[in-house]
Amino acid sequence: MKALEDKGRDGAEAHLHGHDEHDHDHAHGHDHHHHHEPDHDDEHGHSHEHPAGPVEYIRLGLLALVIIASLTGWWENFMSRDWLAFAATLIGGWPIYAEALENIRKRRMTMELSMTIALIGALCIGQFLTASVIAFFVLFAELLEGFTVGSGRRAIEKLINSLPRSVTVRRDGQERELSTSEVGSGETIIIRPGERIPADGVVSKGHSFVDQASITGESLPVEKVEGGKVFAGTINKDGVLEVKVEKIGRDTTFGKIIEIVEQAEKSKAPVQRIADRLAAGLVYFAFGAAVLTFIVTRNVTSTIAVIIVAGACGVAAGTPLAVLAGIGSAARRGIIIKGGLYLEQLRTIDTVVLDKTGTLTLGVPEVTSISTLNGATEDEVLQTAAIAEQHSEHPLGEAIVRRARQRNLPLREYANLRYSPGKGLTCEDNGNEILVGSRRCLKNAACLFPRNLSAS
């Protein structure tokens, strides 16, 4: 009678976790076969996480203001621009000096240490403006790093915080609002329409449709009746469900996904480990080249320039930032990447294999064709099905009604509606019985299918 097709979605959701259970028997029987923070302190000791607070922005603004004032001649009547640049470099560059001192204490050769030596050297030879410019760009780069790291981690935190913090629990015959952390295995929780399910469990009472795309990747809401399995992180769309809790928190399927993302943050791609070793060597190379430059030229300015140019920050910071930003950006789009190794391997992939149904989809089914029998017109078949489905909450039923309304077909009210979960529905219209359901449901009702519809 009808063919329904899910259309492609802009961008695939890649779920790098498997799930064997796919409840494809939807309403009305329509067969649908369709914590540890990541540590990026690398071997050379450069920290890639610099929280950007008001003080950091004030320091950066002060340096920018002093640089502009020095170049334009502002305030020369009030204060020497050299002294102004000297003070701004000391104040604005304090985070660099503090980290350099910490790394000296830990006996680590770092980019901050090389930059500190360059800044002190520039101040000692009177290159105050040069020193303030160096401090400005180093701080600006670190603020950009902090922003990139923060953006990736916010995506992870949003994923973690998407689970409800409280839930309605049935205890001793009474409903109580409790923190999710207080709920134990075996208890019964009540999930109302629109609520996110906080635990893995089995439906003990109720009937609804659940959007579980974030767990199983299925594009359409899945019908849940008594005995049906539900997952934490999925969304109850319609009816009220009572669920017997089986797993909570980190033990749930959703919790395992979170662990995958957190481990992905901590893991290092092969290219990142190479960058770490290269960066550590570049710091020593910078000092060696600077010493050689001074011996040959006796020019302090050239020596300082060599230290700055040969600094390892670009190599060291760029690689882990790119990996973390990629993982975070993917998480915002519902794509779970298990680590930097897999992100790096994407460049070698030229073929992607997708399962046959529901992976690339808008999640909105649409009637694409209508097959008729016994001389009935398409509009008659569509109108008959839409009359029965007009109050349906199932996405396939809604697709039928939507197409009927697009054709401006009148939908009369039916009588004596009978609904069988997972099978189909029947109703009466003008004394005629209408049956809408899956092929299995229709065959059970002794409906015959012509051979040309065998694949429909």
Q: Which two tokens stand for residue 348?
A: 């070698």
Q: How far, CA to CA in Å, does 305 sit from each of 38, 92, 130, 211? A: 33, 20, 10, 59
Domain of 431: which CATH number?
Answer: 3.40.1110.10
- Whether 233 maps to a domain, the answer reads yes
Residue 196 lies in a domain: yes
- Which of these three, 230, 253, 276, is where a domain ends? 253
In this structure, is residue 402 part of a structural domain? yes
Per residue in 39-68, pLDDT (tens digit) is 444 444 444 444 556 777 887 888 888 788
Q: Is the pLDDT of residue 436 over 80?
A: yes
Domain boundary among 253, 285, 303: 253
Whether residue 265 lies inside any domain: the answer is: yes
Which pLDDT does position 74 carry in this prediction?
66
Confidence of residue 9 (pLDDT cuts 50, 70, 90): very low
Same domain, yes or no: 147 and 296: yes
Q: Are 388 and 414 in contact (CB under 8 A)?
A: yes
Secondary structure element (H or E) that encloses residue 229, with its range? strand 229-230
71 within domain boundaries: yes
pTM beyond cutoff 0.75 = no
**CATH value at residue 244:** 2.70.150.10
Q: Does residue 355 lie within any of the structural domains?
A: no
User: Quick one: average pLDDT of 240-245?
Assistant: 93
Average the pLDDT over each of 7-16, 126-135, 247-256, 422-431 and give the range with the smallest value: 7-16
Do both 65 and 138 map to the same domain? yes
Q: Return the pLDDT at 228.
A: 92
pLDDT in tens, 78-100: 556 667 777 777 787 788 788 87
Do residues 326 and 375 both lie within one domain? Answer: no
Residue 237 belongs to domain spanning: 13-34+163-253
Instruction: From the candidates 200, 350, 355, 429, give the one annotated as an active-site residue.
Output: 355
On whether both 265 and 152 belong to a single domain, the answer is yes
Which residues contact residue 85 at a Cβ distance below 8 angstroms, ignoring those fewer than 6 apart? 66, 67, 70, 128, 129, 131, 132
Identify which has the larger pLDDT, 309 or 254. 254
Examine the domain organization and report whether 151 and 62 are in the same domain. yes
3 within some domain: no
Q: Do 152 and 60 share a structural domain?
A: yes
* Statement to judge: residues 267 and 149 lie in one domain: yes
Q: Is 232 within 8 Å of 252 (Cβ atoms)?
A: yes
In a 10 Å sphere around its CB, with 0-12 CB exposed, 13-18 middle and 19+ buried, how is residue 83 labelled? Answer: exposed
Q: How many domains does the chain have?
A: 3
Residues 6+ apart with CB under 8 A from 53: none
Confidence grade of residue 420 (pLDDT, cut at 50, 70, 90): confident
Tell me: do 249 and 281 sit in the same domain.
no
Active site residue 211: no
Same domain? For 297 and 381 the reply is no
pLDDT at 27: 37
Q: Given pLDDT bands bounded at 50, 70 and 90, which one contains residue 454?
A: low
**pLDDT digit string (tens) for 290-327?**
889 989 998 888 887 787 776 555 555 566 667 777 77
Kindly state whether residues 151 and 63 are assigned to the same domain: yes
Highest mean predicted confidence (pLDDT) among 58-67, 244-253, 255-264, 310-319: 244-253
Whether pLDDT at 375 is above 60: yes
Let me know if residue 7 belongs to a domain. no
Task: Report the percentage of the chain scoring pLDDT > 90.
Answer: 14
The whole-angstrom separation of Cα 126 and Cα 123 is 5
Same domain assignment for residues 61 and 150: yes
Specify the range with the lowest mean pLDDT, choosing from 42-51, 170-179, 391-400. 42-51
Which of 221, 253, 285 is the C-terminal boundary of a domain?
Answer: 253
How would you classify residue 19: left for phi > 0, otherwise alpha for psi between -120 and 50, otherwise beta? beta
Q: Verify that 152 and 167 share a domain, yes or no.
A: no
